[in-house]
Structure 1
Amino acid sequence: MNGVILSLGLLVGLCLCVRTQAAPRCYSTGETREKIATDGLTEPFRAMQKAAARTQAEALAAKLCLGDDDFVYEISLLRRDGKIIRAFVNAKSGQMLDAKSEKKRGD
């Protein structure tokens, strides 16, 4: 019986650990406008311009997301070779955090 209780305890602990790494919450266009006004965030167009210049790619779209208590713009960019890049820009400071190439679906 003690083994069953210990196993259940470990299972619950594992579930709690997995749950804390939830996907970021992304906002609609209207919600993004509201967050920009209330939280003093950088305009998405400026973040897109900065990411495009930094990656030498064409900005396609941006969405505001909240992850790890920070607002971040996730920006999709198209490189000259046709590959899509995802850039992440801190929505408060405008600093670029990261840029990653998307993997092809067959890879």
Structure 2
Amino acid sequence: MAKAVRKVRAALTPEARENQLISLAVDLAEKQLIEGTASSQVISHFLKLGSMRAQVEKELLEKQRDLAAAKAESIKSEARMEELYLNAVNAMKRYSGQEGRPDGEN
């Protein structure tokens, strides 16, 4: 019986290629586990993924990612607020007639 070969479209980016290879590896591991031909390393890998510790570590990594994203957003927001304050100060200077004077005196 001829073995069916699945055609996979060429990846457009290195990240997409990596994802394709990961998918193929997981498919192969699944097949080996079903057929009972998986190596002890493959079995251990998937047992570790299902462990409570792995779940906690995964959640921690997700929370760290979210925290980093929140910090980046906060920095952007602070920069925007600083720009708005600076614009407001400059508008007040123009309004009071102080703009253009190097010393800011009346």
TM-score w.r.t. the length of structure 2 is 0.27
Question: Which is higher, the Rg of structure 1 or of structure 2?
Answer: 2
The structure, 1 or 2, with the larger RCO (C-alpha pairs under 8 Å, 6+ apart) is 1
Question: Larger strand proportion, structure 1 or 2?
Answer: 1
TM-score w.r.t. the length of structure 1 is 0.26
